[in-house]
A = this chain, B = another copy of it.
């Protein structure tokens, strides 16, 4: 066999991810990556292909982290509680991510629509989110927690659009604490009265 790699792929990927997250795609040079990842230029190309491939792997890794945190924040049994804790977790991410914001939204802002891979990646996530949220919303409607006069899918899109707005605001207003207030506002709206 041959000489084994002297580094752990995930370890250096995390480092690359943070650089892309903080500085964007074009704003991150290969010199930056070499410095941050601590491995040689050629090793990057051998292992991850070109800059764009590396970026996509970082973006996907980022999203997995983000998704894990949102899901692990979900508490309770009622549809309302689960949706509320989900929106709270997103608000918390908006506050705690600070100036770096959401890497996925940053990437859309910078690279969409030219970069089809990024757009497609978002569209897949968007579809899954609508699916998952509207399921939860119709469950809440069926057991009488939520008003039943609105379309679950429309309500899901509403919550997603709001989440995107919250994440975006978190980036330009780091440390802002208003977001959970907005989240509560949006969930209260769905409730039956």
Chain A residues at the B interface, C-beta cutoff of 8 Å: 23-24, 26-27, 99-101, 105-110, 112-114, 119, 122-123, 126, 150-151, 154-155, 157-158, 160-166, 168-169, 171-174, 178, 181-182, 185-186, 189, 193
Contacts and interface: CB of A to CB of B under 8 A. Distances in A.
How many protomers of this protein does the assembly include? 2
A41 B151 CA distance: 54
A172 B112 contact: yes
Contacts of A114: 23, 27
Contact of A182 (B110, B154, B181): B154
6 contacts: A99-B112, A100-B113, A108-B109, A108-B168, A109-B110, A162-B162
A100 to B, nearest CB: 8
Contacts of A163: 165
Q: Which of A109, A166, A181 has the most CB of B within 10 A?
A: A109
B168 A123 contact: no
Given A23-B114, A109-B110, A162 B172 contact: no
